[in-house]
Chains A and B, each alone.
Chain A
């Protein structure tokens, strides 16, 4: 009876979490699809290689060795713990206890493999624990500069801490579960780390050990389900989105900025005196240059924003940020994501219909003109990002809107544009003097 109740409870929790998670991830997907379409198909072998090297292999993390090693420990630990989770899940569904162990315990080779696997998970978990504590120290005690910038105030810093603390919580659950289970079965399983921890549980009776074991089991399961639901609201979503984001990452040299075909068309008409302009479709939506809001960015730009885990390597490398300017590439990504969420909420509240809230991604507590102006397009942020996010693409799109739609440019730039148009140079020199250097 008690077992049946546990199974029912387990299934109810899984279904509820699955439903909530589905809604959360669907929200993220819909928000990304607010962006303009862009065809990024093709080049699949190169893209796959990028994904394997950069997301799976964490290649770009290793530019910065200390966090790279700590991050790798947590990553490997997280991935291999999923193996134990399979057994936890089957046990939950069937009401069994360590079903895999009992299936293989009389076959020496498989029993060895099982014990070896769980022991490896335990050993990795110890490393994960050390790495997680180290990350908490870097954030809260060492106060690594890039983890203590103004754009992280409020929810972002809490989000980061929630993730790290829940990792420690999950580890505590695993060890409580395994060690109590070992103590209950006189160490029969032979798991490496819990074997060492067993003396700590020596003073407890059978009932207490059962409570520890069950608390660990349920605690772990609930923790995993809670994280699954929380993930689409957290910067931690990078553990999933890093893969598509590196797959769809730019393949061109970093110096490349896309040309706008709609403008090419106009200029070709201008340059060709015999050209006949195509008939104007009165119903067509007016062409908008650059991006003013998330709708005007591409879905890849928006995927970038959701993929960002706010590590701040971009901001630490940004020459403008280093010299005290307002620009922070990380904030560009965070503001883009926050605006996307806001737009998504408005749409969701109106049955999927967008009702203009009179705001946009520029100003309105999002990205300011001052920030956009400070960018030197040096690509340091793009180079630094471990998962191929480009804050620069968004900056250029927003600059295009400011300059071409709003005529909002500093006076010096307007002078420069005029000079370029009139005499083919950013300065006021006559084109006829272009060869004068040879007389020097």
Chain B
């Protein structure tokens, strides 16, 4: 897989078009790594000159900040900003809504000013420019897809349509869950909940959301966030529906539609 780091670009005096911010989940989580690779396949297929920070990338600090630890957040943020400003980064694309939100909204006042794009918007623009050609229609023929709104894309940054536009490219039926868009129900991972046990309650949030997804009878739940992906995948498993319902990121689905990826339904 062809991936160049910013350091490699800098050594040849070249400038990439965009920095792909992979994020911790995309770097380390096995499921999210697949999404990272699918997105890179699309970028490479379209000859987009992107760079990653590789080992120079650190967590954006999102879970620490939302848990209340501003120290850890700012330590990481200021380090990341120093790295990016040294390279003269201008544009960032990321597959993680949490990274997207914090880079776009909270880095500027710390000295990190970039154009930050979530991959849903990035892919939608490529579609609008006619650069993405769907070649595989067989995979999605007659299938239903339901899109789960990530809180940090949707309510946090009012991106509701871009991921849906991406899914509309595929030859499948897009169905909505009971709560969607501004009323979209959280997967349960945000605010650093991903990293701890739930408080006492009657149900886990990801189960509540998975139930809404299952009610649509969709074969595919589309996510645009690695944490939502994990939470709903877990929910589907605990409902023992993993044979009938699969959770994919919009990048994986779009890569499959372009014949760059095979997915099993």
Task: State which of B55, B68, B70, B193 has its C-beta within 8 Å of the C-beta of A376.
Answer: B193
**Residue of B with least CB distance to A256:** B105
* Interface: B34 (CB within 8 A): yes
Asked if residues B105 and A376 are in contact (CB atoms below 8 Å), the reply is no
Asked if residues A434 and B192 are in contact (CB atoms below 8 Å), the reply is no
Shortest Cβ gap from A373 to chain B (Å): 6
Interface residues of A in 389-440 (CB under 8 A from B): 396, 399-404, 409-410, 412-413, 415-417, 420-421, 424-427, 429, 431-440
In the complex, what residues of B have CB within 8 A of residue A382's CB? 155
Give complex CA distance A437, B26 in Å: 8
Task: State which of A378, A416, A434, A437 has its C-beta within 8 Å of the C-beta of B64.
Answer: A416
Give complex CA distance A264, B73 in Å: 10
A interface footprint on B47-58 (CB within 8 Å = 1, 0 otherwise): 000001011011
* Interface: A267 (CB within 8 A): yes
Asked if residues B205 and A403 are in contact (CB atoms below 8 Å), the reply is no
Asked if residues A375 and B191 are in contact (CB atoms below 8 Å), the reply is yes
Asked if residues A380 and B186 are in contact (CB atoms below 8 Å), the reply is yes
**Residue of B with least CB distance to A290:** B68
* Interface: A172 (CB within 8 A): no
How would you classify the secondary structure of chain B's contact residues: helix, strand, loop or mixed? helix
Stretch at the interface among B74-82, B85-93, B134-142: B74-82
Give complex CA distance A324, B110 in Å: 38
* Interface: B37 (CB within 8 A): yes
Shortest Cβ gap from A370 to chain B (Å): 6
Shortest Cβ gap from B242 to chain A (Å): 21
The count of residues in chain A whose C-beta lies closer than 8 Å to any C-beta of chain B is 69
* Interface: B198 (CB within 8 A): yes
Asked if residues A403 and B197 are in contact (CB atoms below 8 Å), the reply is no
In the complex, what residues of A have CB within 8 A of residue B195's CB? 412-413, 415-416, 426
**Residue of B with least CB distance to A406:** B68
Asked if residues A420 and B64 are in contact (CB atoms below 8 Å), the reply is yes
Contact A324:B105 (CB < 8 A) given known A267-B71, A427-B28: no
Asked if residues A417 and B69 are in contact (CB atoms below 8 Å), the reply is yes
* Interface: B233 (CB within 8 A): no
In the complex, what residues of B have CB within 8 A of residue A434's CB? 22, 27-28, 54-55, 57
Give complex CA distance A233, B216 in Å: 47
* Interface: A253 (CB within 8 A): yes
* Interface: A351 (CB within 8 A): no
Interface residues of B in 170-206 (CB under 8 A from A): 182-183, 185-186, 188-205
Shortest Cβ gap from B19 to chain A (Å): 14
In the complex, what residues of A have CB within 8 A of residue B203's CB? 323-324
In the complex, what residues of B have CB within 8 A of residue A323's CB? 201-205, 207-208
Give complex CA distance A415, B197 in Å: 13
Shortest Cβ gap from A260 to chain B (Å): 5
* Interface: A325 (CB within 8 A): yes
Contact A320:B57 (CB < 8 A) given known A377-B66, A410-B196: no
Known contacts A323-B208, A417-B64, A440-B37; 20 additional CB pairs below 8 A are A254-B157, A257-B66, A263-B70, A264-B74, A271-B78, A323-B207, A370-B200, A373-B196, A376-B186, A376-B191, A378-B155, A413-B69, A420-B63, A421-B75, A425-B24, A426-B195, A427-B28, A434-B54, A437-B33, A438-B3
The 3 A-B residue pairs whose C-beta atoms are closest, nearest first, are A255-B156, A324-B202, A424-B58
Q: List 9 A-B contacts (CB under 8 A).
A: A255-B155, A264-B78, A324-B202, A326-B200, A373-B199, A376-B186, A383-B183, A426-B63, A439-B1
